[in-house]
Structure 1
């Protein structure tokens, strides 16, 4: 089976600036194994993670409200803006792919908000969180999966038949499960979502998208149980967020064949110099804590920045990609470097 992220470096999603061609050229050039379709939230509404969903969902209109995004009755101005921005990003990726001389095959990653983060971020027409309407959550998951299937097919066509990997961003998943989200008013309470329900909804998106899916959760509580019980093929998390309680879950995932995408460098300019040796040392510590031999660990792990790079300087954004790329190559070529 072809590895999904193992042995590769990639980015999580967002990028500084507003120029899609410059961003695409940088990402395709720096990440030859698994480049990603960047998000440029600096362009405003419709370019951020939730706003981009307006261009991906099928038959599920989204509009803006005074507090964010909400469901709408028909295709809105913001949905047309989001679609236009996405089209520009796709044109830039296709151009960069061709200029780089990448032939048929290869792989590319796209990102979208996961169903639970999206449901927690959208409002219904009356102002309540969409999360409170479980029927609407199911409809949203189905729409997202269908939209991602079409999106992945378009990306593959533009990139010479490349394998498309889908990353679902779920920064709010742990809060949704724990019932920590507040309502839009003091009278509105949001109950916790049981694990089987969380898994079933996530799997609806995975099945409909017909793609290999990475679950990306950058919260302090890594949802290893969700990754284990669901149909996702890989789990992305921030190395700095790993607690001792997560170790057993991460080990179980690796044992079961789920790959890990480790966020190994910070998302903003570090206060001290950070290089490949530093990344390999941190990864070696993780492999030791998980009690995996270096060669086994290296064969099942990929690298990325800890999260999106929209808040980074352009210099650090490029350096972050270069660092994880070089560290991934070094780890794949010589796993014994993890023991130094």
Structure 2
């Protein structure tokens, strides 16, 4: 596996923009090493992450009026699952593709990329909702999450793996390497009464999703969780990149120093969510964000991790998606992130 560009800047997914091509150009102009395709939920329900994950999965029903994905109780379950697994066994990636109505930013970014051989980024980052978050949010008519339905949850892991692999295949057609994150915001509720799932089950579901995605052609897999969780649980999966909100939750991640050190030793990457994305977060200068990052890296060094290794295996991102910011705030976040990336590269070169 190729080594990723150290301290490259990329994004998480959602943006507040309406114009997919303008958003793609903004990203390509600033996040030059690892652009991400922008989700544009302002354009409509289909551009939200859960509807984007539903296509191709069995027994799913989209309700645009109520902005919900739910279990279709009227569908023939046996027939739906049989048809689904036939597609899985045949690696029918097109069944699991994103349409332009669902992901206009994906198509815009690929169209705006320079032609193969004409320069531009070597990597493109995509994203899809993770299996646990999808199975937690989607419910049946009884209001119960399909996470409690083992048969359906198993299908979700396979389907989302192939949706990630489909993105990777389309990105590879442009001559670039693909990096796909599975977004798992629901894991911030792990351990609460709202998510009665064991640690072992989380690891199993994520491991199966990553393994299936790799078997279908995806090479680089990330997991993004924008809240606090049991980080050792995620680090014990075969994930390549752990994406976390370092602005808010670095203090809890460093509590898992041993497993984090093992993760880095096996070649894992940390995607540091340096730039806050809450509209109510205090306004931070670039200098203040940089000082925070420097301090966090040195804290890991004090815990026995090699500073140069940590920096070499780090990417930089916003803390979460930019979708709740104003367009101007989102532009500022992207520009600031690009500048922080350059500062990081300078620091690494000096070591």
Q: TM-score range by the shorter chain?
A: 0.7 to 0.9
Which deviates more, 98-107 or 138-147?
98-107
2:200 is equivalent to residue 196 of structure 1: yes
Provide structure 1 residue ranges, at least 5 long, that are not aligned to the other structure. Answer: 182-189
The structural deviation recorded for 1:322 is 1.7
Separation of aligned partners in 2, 1:242 and 1:180: 21
TM-score (norm 1): 0.84
1:26 aligns with 26
CA distance in 2 between counterparts of 1:37 and 1:234 reads 18
Q: Is the 8 A contact 2:20 2:40 kept in 1?
A: yes
Q: Compute the displacement of 1:170 (Å).
A: 0.6
Aligned Cα RMSD in Å?
2.9
Partner of 1:161: 175
Matches within 5 A, 1:93-172: 93-98=109-114, 102-103=118-119, 106-157=122-173, 160-172=174-186
* Residues 39 and 47, structure 1, Cα contact 8 Å, conserved in 2: yes
Assess, with a 3 A threshold, how the Cα gap between structure 1 residues 246 and 271 changes in structure 2: closer, same or farther: closer
- Which residue is equivalent to 2:62? 63
Matched, 1:43 2:43: yes
Spell out, residue by residue over 1:77-114, the C-alpha distance to the aligned partner (whole angstroms, 9 max, x if none): xx99x734235333311221038985487110111111
Question: What is the alpha-carbon distance in structure 2 between the residues aligned to residue 328 and residue 115 of structure 1?
Answer: 31
Deviations 1:47-94 (A, max 9, x none): 111121123x4445332285722123399xxx99x7342353333112
**Which residue is 2:285 aligned to?**
274
| Structure 1 pair 296–155 and aligned structure 2 pair: CA distance change class (3 A) | closer
* Of 206, 212, 232, the match for 1:208: 212
Cα 1:268–1:172, aligned 2, differ >3 Å: closer, same or farther? closer
Number of residue pairs matched by the alignment: 319
| Correspondence 1:292-311 to 2 at 5 A | 292-311=305-324
Q: 1:158-189 deviations in whole A, cap 9, x for unaligned?
A: xx2211111111111142x41431xxxxxxxx
Pick closer, same or farther for the CA change 1:242–1:336 going to 2, 3 Å: farther
Report if the CA contact (8 A) 1:284-1:294 is conserved: no
Q: Deviations over 1:288-309 (max 9, x none)?
A: 2212443232111111111111
User: How many Å separate the matches in 2 of 1:54 and 1:285?
Assistant: 41
Aligned to 1:258: 268
CA contact (8 A) 2:39 2:103 kept: no
Question: C-alpha offsets along residues 239-298 of structure 1, whole Å, 9 cap, x if unaligned?
Answer: 1332644314254233443210011011156644511x3232111111122124432321
Deviation (angstroms), 1:135: 1.6
8 A contact 2:235–2:242 mirrored in 1: no
Contact 1:60–1:140 at 8 Å: present in 2 too? no
CA contact (8 A) 2:157 2:209 kept: yes
Q: Distance in 2 between matches of 1:30 and 1:53?
A: 28
Contact 2:127 2:164 (C-alpha < 8 Å) held by counterparts:
no
Structure 2 unpaired stretches of 5+? 81-94
